Structure 1
Amino acid sequence: MIFAFLKKTTVLVWLCALFTILLVFQSCKKKHSEIADRLFEATQNEVFKDIDPDTLAETLKKEISERKLKIANASVIESYFRENDYQPIFVINHLFNGDLDILPEYYDKISEHGLDKTPYHSEAIKALIAKLHNKTAIKTTAEAYHDLAELELLSTSSLIKYANALQYGVINPKKIYSRYFTATKRPDTTFMKHALKANDIKSYLDSIQPADPQYKALQKAFLSNAVIDGLSPEESKRYLLVNLERLRWKNKPSEDKYVIVNIPDFRLDVIENGKSVLNMKVCVGEGRNKDYHSSLIAYADSEKYDKPFPRETPQLSSMIHSVQVNPMWNIPRSIATKEIITEAANDPYYLSNKNIDVYKDGVKIEDPETIDWSTVTKDNLEYDFKQRPGADNSLGKIKFLFKNRSSVYLHDTPAKEAFGHAMRAVSHGCVRLGDPLGLAKNLFGEGEDFDTISKDMNEDNPDPTNIGLPKKAPIYITYVTCWADDNGSLQYRRDVYGLDIVLYAHLKMLMSNL
């Protein structure tokens, strides 16, 4: 009985397994038949009747494996292929409704953004689409597998590259600039796969065209070959080109209110609801191109790479969290070695006249005049220097603090003369304010805190006072050399740090290597 039961059970297991195999086989045959039927229906080429998805999958796997090192975002594309069992789903979804023909139309117009169409394989995609639509062009199944796989790979990779370029720029600023600390979004897997899963290609491509008014203004000028006053036609084109790329970077303020410093404009604005509510001159860090010797037309090969002058103000984004009124200045070692010990060696009373205290191992030295400063160098310097609050303090009467890795801040200054000059890249790296009290009033508003600030800034020999902002204020220190003003006129500022040169060289190099 037991033997008979086991025998019957074994038979049932085998029957179930056989039934499952038959179902899978039928399912695969159905899948094979559906793909072949759809391709034949669209192309009317008899060759596609014999298409086998398993062979098609192997062909697509081989295609991406062989090209992986040459294709941008290959891991994202391969993940998309894997999710679709290595079938040319993108081509099948968009070839039959004419959507695929739209891709090269948009790629051919990318020059309107100052970009080269070469990396988007427009001509190759057009040729493959035309070949698929010609019912006699593809002669063998091997040729069909290859062409389908190639079209799937070229169309998906080019769409991702195109979407990334328009929405995020073709260059990551963090990779070309040494002192770039601005939060900047870069394309991620979700964004890239969203492009591949769009149902309507034209609607998607329209949705990713840059819509910022500044971008459109510069793009219009670029397309009309506008010549900026004071620049040649070629340099005007290059100014527009690099600033269009900057506008594609996702590093723009999103807050209703923020502080922004534009380094080459030597100017600070407080923006509220899209409008400047406070504007002032500033002085920024001394730059490598402060004499404007180098331009987008005339520059040496060595200037293609970012080698910042030690005093250049960094590009950054942060939050102003507090102010210090009548600040104590902890003098950076770089300034101490280059300036303080030299001045002290030339004048034994320099330190006392400038209200600078000297410390060794955290202990204040009472008589720094007794030190032979002529023997002190940057290699054996064992002292720290602090400048007390007062009229001569290099930070003036107030400094605005925000976290950053470069130890820079906004501050007042006793050296007002520089604000009368056109070229104001003169500081050690921090941003000197033309109207520090005005900024304090804007950020704090009327009230007790501002009254304290105003009072303490007028004291003769006060102690430092720290006051936290009731609401932290976003700050952006940026670098923009060309824009359209409120009247629609193009404004440009000269490239005081040579950062336009670096960006243009990378754009040019990128295009020449494609």
Structure 2
Amino acid sequence: MILSATLKKTALPVLIALFCVLTLTFQSCKKKSRSDLGAELFKKTQNKIFKDATPEGLAEVFKQVLETNKAKMDNPKLITAFYEKNDYDPVFVMDHIFNGDVDITASYFEKAGQHGLDPRMFKADQIKQLVTKFKDKKGIKTIDEAYHDIAELEILMANSLINYSGALQFGMVSPRKIYSRYFTATKRPDSTSMMQALNAGNLKTYLDSIQPKDPQYLMLQKALLAGGTAQGMTKEETQRYLVVNMERLRWKNKPTQNEYVIVNIPDYRLDVMENGKSILDMKVVVGEGRNMDNTTTLADYDESDKIDRPFSRETPQLNSMIHSVQVNPVWNIPQSIASKEIMVEAAKDPYYLSNKGIDVYRNGKKVEDTETIDWASAPKDKYEFKQRPSDDNSLGKIKFLFNNNSSVYLHDTPAKSGFSKTMRALSHGCVRLGDPQALAKVVFGDGPTYEKIAKAMNEDNPEPTTIGLPKKMPVYITYVTCWVDSNNTIQYRPDVYGLDNVLYGHLQKFLANTDQIAAL
């Protein structure tokens, strides 16, 4: 025990001393490396001007150039903090010019049109011009010019690399900022993703890693570059369809679960997906929209279209978890529907409410003899209306519940005629299901619980019954107007809510033109 304690006492100072030596060695190496900045640049460029370059001289000019360029940078605080933390070390000049990395990166920027994006956003020409100056041993004439050009190239590369990385990984536009009824969790670029770009050791490897690899994206991209024309559209409108839906594919809002329910509003379709394949699909009816006659199209874009003006009955985009179903549901009629529709019908026909199985409440108490009320002059906000379970209940025999702030759900309906129509934006905002019982069977499984649901749906005197889902099922309500089907055919759908035009309006300043795409 005494020997062990002695060894500990002896070893501790030795370890501390060793740590200090290693720390000093590391610091001196780092200092030596930075002090050799001029010699290293001269060796790489053969330009004698660089012999006089020092880290201290560069830092002074670098700070000034950063301050001058703040207005031109998209993320000035992050870029400034990056270089401050690294003592204004010119990482792109020292580590990436002379091995060809910067030229490779600029070539990726030049080909941004492959993604429908304007290459000029990423300043490839300016970057290449500066690289040429560094590689020409007489290109830079003075030490001040050298410092200034180093700082300029660093800032250009940092800013463009962050922007390019963000565009391909997250999209150019935040859907939350442009859409009034968008409630889907969507990850946007943050300091972590930006720093990954700045700290990339091998730029080509990094750039290859961020290229979208979704087969849907690659096929839309191929169609964009082929320059084809969809049936009934102009070439320009086809291109606009493709670029807005490629942007949607770049958004980080896609399901990550193996099994989920997804509704595509413009396609009026629901799919249950399992391991990337649809195991159930059905027609749906969605909320009425502002552009149901398709008078507003991408063929004739107007600047005012980018302002999102949703119709009151549009189904929102969202994601949530189906947690339960209500069999033989009671319909708690929303105030807007009650005042604009139910009370209007009741004013025309005093027996409308009883015929439809609708109970009326005032101050929480059920109102008897509703046919005696003058509904034409009755106050709009004093009554509550609830429709009892029945074959005529507007929610049908079952509704699927999931948390959301828009009071929407998936449900059955007695109005089956809507499913035979091509344009099925007909509801008040909820999603009506073509085959709700099939959905119940999939989400609950073919067992005792589903058998209980099926039995309850066929009762003569139905009572509302809520049944919890043992394993919650993710649900996504999306909006996609162009995609590739299982036969590798590109499908296009009318922009029933006008959301393509809203997105295109915000994307327009970032997009490549037809000539830029055709040149690739």
TM-score (norm 1): 0.92
**Maintained 8 Å contact 1:264/1:495:** yes
**What is the aligned counterpart of 2:296 among 281, 294, 297?**
294
SS at match of 1:373: coil
**What is the aligned counterpart of 1:203 among 202, 205, 209?**
205
Q: Name the counterpart of 2:144.
A: 142
- The amino acid across from 2:430 in the alignment is C
- The amino acid across from 2:189 in the alignment is P
Q: Distance in 2 between matches of 1:511 and 1:174?
A: 20
- Measured on the aligned residues, the alpha-carbon RMSD in Å equals 1.8
Q: Name the counterpart of 2:459.
A: 459
Gaps of 5+ in 2: 1-24, 513-520
Q: Distance in 1 between matches of 2:441 and 2:31?
A: 76
Matching of residues 82-481 of structure 1 within 5 Å: 82-378=84-380, 381-481=381-481
Q: Distance in 2 between matches of 1:95 and 1:509?
A: 30
**Maintained 8 Å contact 1:88/1:152:** yes
**What is the aligned counterpart of 1:38 among 37, 40, 62?**
40
Q: Distance in 1 between matches of 2:375 and 2:168?
A: 57
**Maintained 8 Å contact 2:234/2:299:** no
SS at match of 1:429: coil
Q: CA deviation at 1:226?
A: 2.0
SS at match of 2:376: helix
Gaps of 5+ in 1: 1-22
**Maintained 8 Å contact 2:116/2:511:** no
Residues 26 and 234 of structure 1: CA distance in aligned 2, closer, same or farther (over 3 Å): closer
Q: Name the counterpart of 1:486.
A: 486
Q: Name the counterpart of 1:4.
A: none
**Maintained 8 Å contact 1:184/1:251:** yes
Q: Distance in 1 between matches of 2:384 and 2:84?
A: 61
- The amino acid across from 1:355 in the alignment is G
Q: Distance in 2 between matches of 1:315 and 1:148?
A: 46
Number of residues of Structure 1 aligned to a counterpart in Structure 2: 488
Identity of aligned residues (%): 61
Q: Distance in 1 between matches of 2:190 and 2:61?
A: 27
Residues 32 and 392 of structure 1: CA distance in aligned 2, closer, same or farther (over 3 Å): closer
Q: Distance in 1 between matches of 2:339 and 2:58?
A: 69
- The amino acid across from 1:108 in the alignment is E
Higher alpha-carbon deviation: 195-204 or 365-374: 365-374
**Maintained 8 Å contact 2:118/2:510:** no
**What is the aligned counterpart of 1:47 among 42, 46, 49?**
49
SS at match of 2:497: coil
Q: Deviations over 1:264-292 (max 9, x none)?
A: 00000001111111010000000000011
Runs (4 or more) in structure 1 with deviation over 6 Å come to 25-29
Q: CA deviation at 1:510?
A: 4.2
Q: CA deviation at 1:187?
A: 1.4
**Maintained 8 Å contact 1:321/1:473:** yes
**Maintained 8 Å contact 2:268/2:284:** yes
Residues 195 and 28 of structure 1: CA distance in aligned 2, closer, same or farther (over 3 Å): closer
Q: Distance in 2 between matches of 1:303 and 1:350?
A: 41
Q: CA deviation at 1:27?
A: 8.5
**Maintained 8 Å contact 2:35/2:55:** no
SS at match of 1:40: helix
Higher alpha-carbon deviation: 425-434 or 76-85: 76-85
Q: CA deviation at 1:432?
A: 0.1
- The amino acid across from 2:366 in the alignment is K
Higher alpha-carbon deviation: 153-162 or 341-350: 341-350
Q: CA deviation at 1:461?
A: 2.3
Q: CA deviation at 1:257?
A: 0.7
TM-score (norm 2): 0.91
Residues 167 and 27 of structure 1: CA distance in aligned 2, closer, same or farther (over 3 Å): closer
Q: Deviations over 1:352-371 (max 9, x none)?
A: 11111111121111222222
SS at match of 2:36: helix
Q: Distance in 2 between matches of 1:249 and 1:310?
A: 26
Q: Name the counterpart of 2:504.
A: 504
Higher alpha-carbon deviation: 448-457 or 359-368: 359-368
SS at match of 2:293: coil
Q: CA deviation at 1:85?
A: 1.0
**Maintained 8 Å contact 1:167/1:210:** yes
**Maintained 8 Å contact 1:60/1:87:** no
